[in-house]
């Protein structure tokens, strides 16, 4: 196995950083492999650490699919190295650049047709989403208030939406999305959920009267903005690092202080899973942390939205051990997923993060439960299971929102029934 990894390093000139994928997307492909033995899992983990290929899903166990994106130039090399270790592969996406171009055309077409309004038939950039939050506060002052809660590294204003009817001393569900920049369906789904609650507030009068929703649709503003302007598949923040190669950013979901950098993260600034130089090195995560700490006494559930893989997960991510109250977490997750699946038949896997996907310390859900004391802390990985991956088409935004909203309602109703005075 070692000789293969070394071969990759030699052929690619011992570089540590991947090439800028924004300029190499045409002809890029996503290949899926399914390791059948432990040695193949080990090989894939070693290959990931080389930072030459973009691992859309991480190697975790025998039988678990691993999706790897490679530029057109690197396709023959990747296929050769996979074949050398007996890994069969199939092409999930034959031309990443074409899908990116289609999304760009759809966005431009939507904006050319008239004044902007979020209708969930397109993906929206950071400024558009923040403007929409302000519009909600103006048009629904009895329901919505918006607070500025800090700035990103590149000085983008981060906002918190407070949604509810009357009174602050109620149980809170804290919702965020967009911690990984390229996962566009996450902010789209979070805003869809907000819109359903706001525009159908009479239907959800009892829920909104007894539960507050505190929402930050995009908590990695700079990275998210960068995916619209420079690199559609950027994952991290955009802060500078000490890399001599100019690599930027940390993985914001490896940057939280609870068991930081113990497992499933990297010390290399050029890695997509770089944990940062220290816990909470990223100002954006400090801003979110401060809001959760500020309201921790009332926050009863934390929901953080990601993509992709269709998973509803609870802590822990740093260990395969389960929290003492795991059965409570699992029972609520099962009920939420049953409601979700009933809408369009979409299936989700349920379990702890480590036992469902892989061990990764420094995540926001672990921190919310382990340090902030939020009992019902969940990471929800949205559609799909790899057909499009991070490039989920616009026509799946509304169906994803519809089904996810039903799952969130189950959580919200449970929080109301359990914690409301």
Nearest by Cα to 367 from 267, 259, 247, 265: 259
CB 244 within 8 A of CB 257: no
CA geometry: angle 35, 37, 41, nearest 5 deg: 55
Residue 159, phi then psi, degrees to nearest 5: -125, 145
3-state SS assignment for residue 305: strand
SS3 277: coil
Chain mean position to CA 384: 13
Q: Are 247 and 241 in contact (CB under 8 A)?
A: yes
Record the tokens describing residue 319, joined without a space.
């260990």
- Distance, CA of 211 to chain centre: 25
Token digits of residue 95: 């031309």
Question: What's the rounded Cα separation, in Å, for the pair 174 and 363?
Answer: 15
Count of alpha carbons within 13 angstroms of residue 393, beta-carbon side: 7
Q: Which residue among 183, 196, 284, 381 is the active-site one?
A: 381
Give dist(CA 121, CA 129) in Å, integer.
14
CA-to-CA distance for 226 and 283, rounded, in angstroms? 17
Say if CB 212 and CB 172 are below 8 A apart.
Answer: yes
Which residues, including other chains, have CB under 8 Å from residue 391's CB and lie 6 or more apart?
93, 96, 99, 100, 103, 232
- For 184, which DSSP code? T
Tokens of 161: 């939406």
Q: What are phi and psi of 41, to 5 degrees?
A: -60, -45
Judge whether 381 counts as a catalytic residue: yes
- Strand pairing category for 157-163 and 144-151: antiparallel
**Residue 55 contacts by C-beta under 8 Å, 6 or more apart in sequence?**
48, 66, 67, 68, 69, 272
Go through the chain and tell me how many residues it has: 421
Give me the DSSP letters along 190-214.
Answer: HHHHHHHHHHTTTTTHHHHHH-EEE
Residues with a catalytic annotation lie at 381
């Amino acid at each position: 196995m070692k000789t293969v990894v070394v071969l990759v390093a030699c052929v690619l000139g011992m570089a540590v950083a991947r090439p800028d994928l924004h300029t190499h997307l045409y002809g890029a492909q996503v290949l899926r492999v399914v390791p059948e033995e432990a040695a193949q899992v080990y090989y894939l983990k070693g290959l990931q650490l080389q930072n030459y290929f973009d691992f859309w899903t991480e190697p975790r166990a025998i039988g678990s699919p691993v999706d790897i994106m490679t530029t057109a130039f690197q396709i023959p090399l990747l296929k050769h190295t996979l074949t050398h270790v007996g890994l069969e592969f199939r092409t999930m996406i034959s031309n990443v650049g074409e899908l990116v171009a289609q999304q760009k055309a759809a966005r431009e077409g939507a904006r050319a047709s008239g004044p902007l309004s979020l209708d969930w038939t397109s993906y929206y950039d950071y400024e558009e989403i923040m403007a929409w939050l302000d519009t909600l506060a103006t048009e629904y002052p009895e329901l919505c208030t918006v607070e500025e809660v800090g700035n990103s590294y590149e000085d983008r204003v981060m906002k918190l939406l407070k949604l509810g009817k009357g009174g602050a001393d109620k149980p809170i569900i804290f919702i965020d999305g967009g911690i990984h920049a390229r996962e566009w369906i996450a902010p789209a789904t979070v805003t869809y959920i907000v819109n359903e609650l706001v525009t159908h507030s009479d239907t959800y009068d009892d829920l909104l009267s007894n539960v507050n929703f505190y929402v930050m649709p995009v908590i990695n503003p700079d990275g998210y903005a960068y995916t619209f302007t420079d690199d559609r598949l950027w994952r991290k923040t955009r802060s500078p690092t000490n890399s001599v190669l100019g690599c930027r950013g940390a993985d914001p979901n490896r940057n939280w202080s609870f068991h930081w950098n113990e497992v499933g993260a990297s010390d290399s600034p050029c890695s997509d899973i770089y944990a940062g130089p220290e816990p909470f090195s990223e100002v954006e995560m400090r801003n979110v942390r401060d809001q959760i700490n500020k309201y921790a006494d009332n926050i009863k559930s934390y929901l953080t939205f990601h993509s992709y893989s269709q998973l509803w997960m609870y802590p822990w991510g740093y260990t395969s051990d389960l929290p003492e109250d795991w059965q409570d977490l699992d029972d609520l997750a099962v009920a939420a997923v049953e409601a979700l699946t009933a809408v369009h038949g979409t299936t989700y896997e349920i379990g702890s993060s480590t036992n469902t996907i892989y061990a990764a310390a420094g995540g926001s859900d672990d921190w919310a439960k382990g340090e902030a004391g939020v009992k019902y802390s969940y990471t929800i990985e949205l559609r799909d299971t790899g057909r499009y991956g991070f490039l989920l088409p616009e026509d799946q935004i509304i169906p994803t929102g519809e089904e996810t909203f039903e799952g969130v309602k189950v959580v919200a109703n449970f929080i109301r029934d359990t914690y409301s005075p």
